[in-house]
Amino acid sequence: MPRTAIISDIHANLHALHAVMEDCQHQQCTDVVCLGDVVGYNAYPSECLDYIRQLNCPVVKGNHDEEVVSASMTMMNPMARLAMEWTRAQLNEDQLAWLARLQYVRIVRHSGASTFGIVHSCLEQPKSWNYIINANDASTNFPKQFAPLCFHGHTHIPKVFMWDGRHAVEDYDAVHPLYLEGQMEFTPRPGLKYFINVGSVGQPRDHDPRACYAIYDTDRNTITMRRVEYDIAAAQQAIRDCGLPEYLAERLQNGS
């Protein structure tokens, strides 16, 4: 009966993480997997890292998880770097070592059930942190995807891409109800491959400020995405209280 919650891009937003995990319980999820970017941007990197770590679940590395342990931070704009330096100061050696050990790609196996892939950005050059924004971008992923399903994050925007053997297509219809009703559900069709972006728990960027995550039910063969309300004002106040840039607080309420 695996019913797996797939969460991504928590970004140190403890209020959003708690709300999503509570929703997972109501939804009777049996497992959790995490697609990376546990830290960065928000006020609770240490608490979110410890929370995910104690779940003892499959986790892949995100670009923020990598940057916070590397000395360079060359890829980042000044504001992101400032937030990253603050984040690093909140983490101890043991926590940084845990982040450093995360793998880029994992295959998740449930006993007696199908397997699926997880990656933060893309299966093609996962260390390059490419953004898969449209079907053309997704077409680079599918030749490296051997399982029918693979889940990713990184853009913070929920999407469903399909591969029919020759072309990558974005399934807008599947995601549409998420914006109307706060939930969508679809059944993957046999013979196609799916590359599914589960959105972001801690910093949504699709103009819906609610936290977002997915549930893969292997018995029913369905994928559900859900939006979850959380205390945005409290998460914003925490950002201000630690002196992180105001913009990081503002974007939470705009979902941008």
Torsional class of 131: left (φ above 0), alpha (ψ -120 to 50), beta (otherwise): beta
Token pair, residue 177, equals 């109800």
Q: Tell me which residue has its CB nearest to Zn ion.
A: 37
Handedness of CA 50, 59, 227, 88 (dihedral sign): positive
Q: Which is nearer to Zn ion, 80 or 169 (CB)?
A: 80
Q: How far apart are CA 230 and CA 210, in angstroms?
A: 7
Residues that contact Zn ion, how many (by CB under 5 A): 2
Tokens 């050059």, located at residue: 125
The binding track of 18-37 with respect to Zn ion, each residue x by CB under 5 A or -, is: -------------------x
**Token code pair at residue 222:** 């369905």
CB 23, min distance to Zn ion, A: 20
Closest CA to 27 of 180, 230, 209, 223: 223
Query: Using CB under 5 A, which residues numbered 35 to 74 contact Zn ion?
Result: 37
Task: Name which of 149, 91, 93 is nearest 123 in CA terms.
Answer: 149
In whole angstroms, the minimum distance from the beta carbon of 37 to Zn ion comes to 4
Q: How far is the CB of 153 from Zn ion (least distance, A)?
A: 6
Please tell me whether residue 9 binds Zn ion under the rule CB under 5 A. Answer: yes
For 142, half-sphere exposure in the C-beta direction (CA atoms, 13 angstrom radius) is 22
Adjacent-strand bridge partners of 142: none
For the CB of residue 175, give the shortest distance to Zn ion in the complex, in Å.
Answer: 19
- In the complex with Zn ion, the residue whose CB is nearer, 174 or 198, is 198
Residue 73: CB atoms within 10 Å: 14
C-alpha–C-alpha distance, residues 135 and 138, integer Å: 5
Work out whether 137 is an interface residue with Zn ion (CB under 5 A): no
**Residue among 1, 2, 6 at smallest CA distance from 226:** 6
Residue placing its CB nearer to Zn ion in the complex, 163 or 195: 195
- Which residue lies nearer to Zn ion by CB, 157 or 162? 157
Closest separation in Å from C-beta 64 to Zn ion: 6
Q: To the nearest whole angstrom, how small is the minimum distance from the Cβ of residue 203 to Zn ion?
A: 7
Q: Which is closer to Zn ion, CB of 37 or CB of 66?
A: 37
Site for Zn ion in 177-206 (CB under 5 A): none
3-state secondary structure of 120: coil
| Cβ proximity to Zn ion, 10 vs 232, nearer residue | 10
Closest to Zn ion by CB, 58 or 153: 153
Q: How far is the CB of 113 from Zn ion (least distance, A)?
A: 28
Interface with Zn ion by CB under 5 A: which residues? 9, 37
